[in-house]
A and B are shown apart, each in its own frame.
Chain A
Amino acid sequence: MDSARREWLLNSALALALFVVPLWAWIAGEPFIITLATRVAILAIAAVGLNIALGLGGMVSFGHALYLGIGGYVAGIAAHHAFNGTPVLGLPGTNQMLPVWAIAMLVSGGVAAVVGALSLRTSGIFFIMITLAFAQMGFFFALSWPAYGGEDGLPIFMRNQFPGMNTNRPWDLFLIAYAVLMAALLVFALLRAARFGAALMAIRQNPDRAAAVGISPFGIRLTAFILSGMITGLAGAMMADLTRFVSPAMMAWTMSGELIVIIILGGVGRLFGPVAGAAILVGFEVFFGGVTEHWKLWLGLVLLAVVLFARGGLIGLIAGRARHG
């Protein structure tokens, strides 16, 4: 069996497992398992976003927590004003997911456009560090801006609503997250297969040659970066609804690190890498966190082992080395 086919099978198995496990939990009356699966799905959406920049474009953004946080705060602020019945920037607050998602993507895309346009002037470690610097600015701003709770964060008393669904029921919320994850994965797959994706990968491998054949590296990469920020921002809005809470911790540099960890654990540039990685990370937090207070030590050891000895992540380990890059 060749590796492409094995990867396809593995992807199908992952997609199925992420659906069947919570389905079983729903039937068995284990709502927490559904909540965990929802968290895996939402983290995976965030990482799919980062995977466009990092996996396809080779842009190692160490500041994607910024977009997660922006999306989160959009949802939190909208819900806050809807709950209190006060306007924000002249608009009423809302407790509907769809407009919140649209605004979250718009705002995080706008910020990603500015950050990307400035950061893409640099490369290598400078790119890593300038994206980190922008995320730190966002973090400190959120931390010391008193209007929406500062470090205490902003609780969401009523989850945002989705037409035809009761988002307070774990299973309904899971279905929404799962559908969005599949849509995000589809976008990723289409992008990768399209000329845009080919150009992006060509630029990653050799920017000079790409420029010589008439591809504008800057425009393509910036577009990918914006898309990447938008998807991660969407995940942020959904994360806020899941935890019913937003805080500056969503923008902390360790969160940016965690998003990268998810991608590495799953497999860089792999379609389902983020899903596998998110499942591993959440599993670790839940199962080891209950067993030992030193669980971070074990997480570190596993992570180190993956980086040193299993470079393709889980998917690479099972499906063999990637076809590209």
Chain B
Amino acid sequence: MTLALVLEQLLNGVQFGLMLFLMSAGLTLVFGVMGLINLAHGSLYMIGAFLCAAVAGATGNFWLGLLAGIAAAAAAGALIEVVVIRRLYDRDHLDQVLATFALILILSEGVRMIFGPFPLYLNVPDLFRGTVRLGIVDYSLYRLALIGFGLAVALGLWLLIAKTRLGIRIRAGESDREMIAALGVNIRALYTVVFALGAALAGLAGALVGAIQSVQVGMGEPVLILAFVVIVIGGIGSIKGAMVGALLVGVIDTMGRFLLPRAFALFLDTSQAMGVGAALASMLIYLLMALILIFRPKGLFPAHG
């Protein structure tokens, strides 16, 4: 086990974490401002990937596809908010879980009816093909670009929330809903915009990740569960928490898959160690989440005091 390998795995963990952050940021934003649990967030991720693949396939241009994916996810988000989600804000979590669970069924089957049952083709843009030498590690250029995207979005979100009028309203919405209505802010429009923003982030994540994964129906569900783990660890509603949680989950999951089988190989035979190690690695982040909640019942960075 060389230093280069360990460093590369750490980098992989960080990259995975930043992709999770893109998913989690939208989810936690929606929960922070509107108090809504949105299980259908993974479906918006899927929509982003499918539209990106379809448009990139038709035009041969990944960046047009990326824009289309983001736009489609945002539009789908806005539509869902106006038709369904709006009615759920003053319901309890149970109704929200159920209604958005129903949306998953509808959106998954809908996408399959439109795009068919076979996975779509989406390739990495020419600009980011191949590898780049980072000191002692050869690293995929596209993964490095993903790290850049993740950091850029984090910065952009921070600027949006800290520096813009919309951000002020979002922060006000998080702390006191009646007050911003009293200030004459159109709260319905604000909610639609925030939901669409969250959806756009999911669509962006789906389109970016779609280039190195399989663009298929159901692709949003595993990553949805991971995103929930992230925001629960971080403290729901906290963007900072989502960032910390995402990096924790990304690095621990990657290092667990890498190190646990090796650790077991010290006292078991190879095949057995690989099996046991892989089994434990797949449970690791849920174990982490349970542990954090037992000691910090509201996550690492509770959003509302």
- A adjacent to B, CB under 8 Å: yes
Binding site for B on A (CB under 8 A): 54, 60, 62, 118-119, 121-126, 128-130, 132-134, 136-137, 140-141, 143-146, 253, 257, 260-261, 264, 268, 294, 296-297, 299-301, 303-304, 307-308, 311
Minimum CB–CB distance for A299 against chain B, Å: 6
By the criterion CB–CB under 8 Å, are B37 and A128 in contact? yes
Given contacts A296-B105, A296-B109, contact A133 B98 (CB under 8 A): no
A125 contact from B93, B103, B113, B286, Cβ within 8 A: B93
A144 contact from B93, B102, B109, B275, Cβ within 8 A: B275
* B251-277 interface code vs A (CB 8 A; 1 in, 0 out): 000000000000000000000000100
Chain A residue, CB-CB nearest to B37: A125
B84 contact from A126, A264, A308, Cβ within 8 A: A308
* B103-117 interface code vs A (CB 8 A; 1 in, 0 out): 111101110110000
| Interface residue B298 (Cβ < 8 Å from any Cβ of A) | yes
Pick from B11-19, B46-54, B70-78, B225-233 the stretch touching chain A.
B225-233
By the criterion CB–CB under 8 Å, are B299 and A299 in contact? no
By the criterion CB–CB under 8 Å, are A130 and B293 in contact? yes
By the criterion CB–CB under 8 Å, are A124 and B93 in contact? yes
Given contacts A136-B225, A257-B101, contact A144 B84 (CB under 8 A): no
Minimum CB–CB distance for A289 against chain B, Å: 13
Question: Which residues of A have CB within 8 Å of B163?
Answer: none
By the criterion CB–CB under 8 Å, are B98 and A303 in contact? yes
By the criterion CB–CB under 8 Å, are B106 and A297 in contact? yes
Minimum CB–CB distance for B227 against chain A, Å: 11
Question: Which residues of B have CB within 8 Å of A307?
Answer: 88, 95, 98-99, 102
By the criterion CB–CB under 8 Å, are A299 and B287 in contact? no
By the criterion CB–CB under 8 Å, are A133 and B289 in contact? yes
Cα A305 to Cα B84 in complex, Å, equals 10
What would be 10 A-B contacts, judged by CB atoms less than 8 Å apart?
A123-B297, A125-B236, A130-B289, A133-B286, A136-B225, A140-B282, A145-B279, A253-B225, A260-B101, A300-B105
Cα A153 to Cα B94 in complex, Å, equals 31
| Interface residue B3 (Cβ < 8 Å from any Cβ of A) | no
Given contacts A121-B294, A125-B236, A303-B98, contact A137 B286 (CB under 8 A): yes
Chain A residue, CB-CB nearest to B112: A294
By the criterion CB–CB under 8 Å, are B289 and A301 in contact? no
Cα A257 to Cα B88 in complex, Å, equals 18
B227-255, CB < 8 A from A = 228-229, 232, 236
Question: What range describes how many residues of B lie at the interface?
Answer: 35 or more
By the criterion CB–CB under 8 Å, are A297 and B109 in contact? yes
Question: Which residues of B have CB within 8 Å of A294?
Answer: 109, 112-113
By the criterion CB–CB under 8 Å, are B279 and A304 in contact? no
Question: Which residues of A have CB within 8 Å of B289?
Answer: 129-130, 133
Cα A141 to Cα B99 in complex, Å, equals 29
Question: Which residues of B have CB within 8 Å of A140?
Answer: 279, 282-283, 286
Minimum CB–CB distance for A28 against chain B, Å: 34
| Interface residue B97 (Cβ < 8 Å from any Cβ of A) | yes
By the criterion CB–CB under 8 Å, are A144 and B229 in contact? no
By the criterion CB–CB under 8 Å, are B94 and A126 in contact? no
Question: Which residues of B have CB within 8 Å of A129?
Answer: 228-229, 232, 289, 293
Cα A294 to Cα B101 in complex, Å, equals 16
By the criterion CB–CB under 8 Å, are B109 and A303 in contact? no
By the criterion CB–CB under 8 Å, are A137 and B283 in contact? yes
Question: Which residues of A have CB within 8 Å of B133?
Answer: none
Question: Which residues of A have CB within 8 Å of B103?
Answer: 300, 304
| Interface residue B211 (Cβ < 8 Å from any Cβ of A) | no
| Interface residue B165 (Cβ < 8 Å from any Cβ of A) | no
